[in-house]
C-alpha cells in the first residue's frame, strides 16, 4: 500500500494558510493524513523538525517523501500529480485567471490579514475598519468581479471550484467573521464558501480543535455566525446509542451525542464533538441520522 500524503496544519479555527492547504486535498478528493500542532506553542517547530526545510504550516510530504511547504507550491504539485482532480480549470483562459488570483492572494491583502486574523469560532458585528482594510476589500471585489467577467462563472470564481477558491476561503471566513462590507455579488460568493461542505467540516473541527487562542480575541460586539445554522446537538454521557460503530472509522462506540432525542455514537470525543458542532456537515453521520 502506498504511503499517503501527509499535511502539517495549525489550529483549524485560526490557521488560515492551513485551511487553504487542507482544501487542496479535501475539496478535490485527494486523501491525506493530517498532523496538527497548536499555534503559539513549541508544537509546530517540534513537529516540523521531521519536515526540513519547512518552517510554516501547512507543509506537505508527498508519498515519495518530498517535502513541499507553501500553499501555492502544494497546489501546483498536486495539480501535476493529480490532473484528474481539477485543482486548476481545464480552460486556458480560466486557468490563467485562477493562477493570477491565487498569486495575488498569496502575496497581498496584508492590511486585511493583520486587522482581521481568521477566527472561525466567532462573528463580530463591527470591527472598526481602518482605510487600509477598506482598500483591500475594494481590491478583492475588483479582482473577483474581473474573474467572473473573464470566465462567465457561476458561484465560484473561474467555473468549477478551483485552487483559486481554496485560496480565498479564509477571506470568506474573515468577511463572515468580522461582518466586512462587500457588495451583494461578493456576499453571494462568501455564502457559497460558508455552505461548501469541506469548509463546513473544517469549521466544525475548528470549533472543538483545542482551546481558544487569546491572540485572536477582539473586544467587538458578537453576532451569530452568518453561515448555515447547525442542527442543535449536544454531547451526552454513556455509550448507549442507535449505532454500535463510529460512522467515520467503524470502530466501537465510546462517546455519544444526542440530536432530536436520539443518541448516536462515535469512536472518540473528537469524532463526536466535530459532529455536534455541525451535524449536517458530515454525510456519513447524516446517512445514519436519516435512516
pLDDT tens column, 64-109: 999 999 999 999 999 999 999 999 999 999 999 999 999 999 999 9
Q: Where along the chain do its domains lie?
A: 5-85, 92-203, 230-289
What whole-number distance in Å separates Cα of residue 108 and Cα of residue 191? 22
Q: 49: number of CA atoms within 13 Å, CB side?
A: 5
Which class in CATH covers the domain with range 92-203?
Answer: mainly alpha
Mean pLDDT, the chain, whole residue set: 96
Which residue numbers in the chain have pLDDT < 70?
1-2
pLDDT on residue 152: 87
- 5-85: CATH, from 3.20.20.80, 3.30.1360.170, 3.40.30.10, 3.10.129.10: 3.40.30.10
d(CA 204, CA 227): 12
Q: Which residue has the cell 451583494?
A: 184
Amino acid at each position: 500500500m502506498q504511503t499517503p500524503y501527509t499535511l502539517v496544519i495549525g489550529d483549524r479555527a485560526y490557521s488560515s494558510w492551513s485551511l487553504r492547504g487542507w482544501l487542496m486535498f479535501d475539496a478535490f478528493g485527494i486523501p491525506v493524513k493530517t498532523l496538527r500542532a497548536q499555534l503559539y506553542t513549541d508544537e509546530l517547530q517540534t513537529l516540523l523538525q521531521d519536515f526540513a526545510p519547512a518552517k510554516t504550516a501547512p507543509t506537505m510530504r508527498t508519498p515519495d517523501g518530498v517535502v513541499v511547504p507553501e500553499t501555492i507550491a502544494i497546489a501546483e504539485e498536486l495539480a501535476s500529480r493529480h490532473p484528474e482532480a481539477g485543482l486548476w480549470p481545464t480552460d486556458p483562459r480560466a486557468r490563467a485567471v485562477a493562477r493570477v488570483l491565487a498569486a495575488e492572494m498569496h502575496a497581498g491583502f496584508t492590511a486585511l490579514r493583520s486587522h482581521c486574523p481568521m477566527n472561525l469560532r466567532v462573528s463580530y458585528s463591527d470591527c472598526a475598519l481602518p482605510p487600509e482594510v477598506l482598500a483591500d476589500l475594494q481590491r478583492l471585489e475588483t479582482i473577483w468581479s474581473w474573474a467572473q467577467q473573464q470566465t462567465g462563472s457561476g458561484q465560484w470564481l473561474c467555473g468549477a471550484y478551483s485552487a483559486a477558491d481554496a485560496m480565498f476561503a479564509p477571506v470568506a471566513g474573515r468577511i463572515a467573521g468580522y461582518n466586512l462590507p462587500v457588495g451583494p455579488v461578493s456576499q453571494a460568493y462568501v455564502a457559497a464558501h460558508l455552505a461548501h461542505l469541506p469548509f463546513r467540516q473544517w469549521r466544525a473541527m475548528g470549533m472543538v480543535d483545542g482551546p481558544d487562542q487569546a491572540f485572536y480575541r477582539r473586544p467587538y460586539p458578537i453576532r451569530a455566525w452568518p453561515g448555515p445554522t447547525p442542527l442543535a446537538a449536544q454531547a451526552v454521557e454513556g455509550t448507549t446509542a442507535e449505532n454500535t460503530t463510529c460512522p467515520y472509522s467503524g470502530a466501537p462506540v465510546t462517546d455519544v451525542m444526542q440530536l432530536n432525542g436520539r443518541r448516536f455514537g462515535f469512536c472518540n470525543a473528537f469524532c463526536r464533538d466535530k459532529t455536534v458542532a455541525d451535524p449536517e456537515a458530515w454525510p456519513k453521520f447524516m446517512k445514519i441520522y436519516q435512516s
